[in-house]
């Protein structure tokens, strides 16, 4: 996927779940919550953190100091969540490995 096609996502209807692009992810917005929209390209997001990360990646030259701080905070929180997920996944793999090893020891 080229950078240009990723930058210019078509606008989606906020009342239904529709794909953002023919091969892109589905944006599912609830009617009871207003979507967070990028002030530069009007792209909808479900959470403000995702919108901050988008602005940092797609519009870095337009950011004010406050917006840049929000982007850095969202990136830091995302790194923490990703690290927690990786540790959890590693723990699951270790338990699965040793569980299968113990089962194999009893079977063989």
Interval 90-102: pLDDT, tens = 999 999 999 999 9
Beta carbons of 51 and 36 less than 8 angstroms apart: yes
Consecutive H or E run containing 45: strand 44-45
Interval 51-84: pLDDT, tens = 899 999 999 898 899 999 999 999 999 999 999 9
Structure pTM?
Answer: 0.57
Name every residue whose Cβ is closer than 8 Å to that of residue 73 and which is 6 or more positions away in sequence.
52
């Amino acid at each position: 996927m080229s950078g240009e096609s990723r930058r210019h996502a078509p606008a989606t209807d906020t009342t239904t779940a529709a794909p953002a692009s023919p091969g892109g992810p589905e944006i599912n917005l609830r009617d009871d919550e207003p979507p967070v929209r990028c002030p530069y390209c009007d792209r909808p997001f479900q959470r403000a953190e995702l919108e901050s990360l988008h602005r940092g990646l797609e519009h870095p030259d337009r950011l004010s100091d406050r917006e840049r701080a929000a982007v850095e905070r969202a990136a830091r929180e995302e790194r923490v969540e990703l690290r927690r997920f990786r540790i959890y996944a590693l723990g699951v793999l270790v338990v699965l490995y040793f569980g299968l090893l113990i089962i194999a020891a009893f079977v063989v």
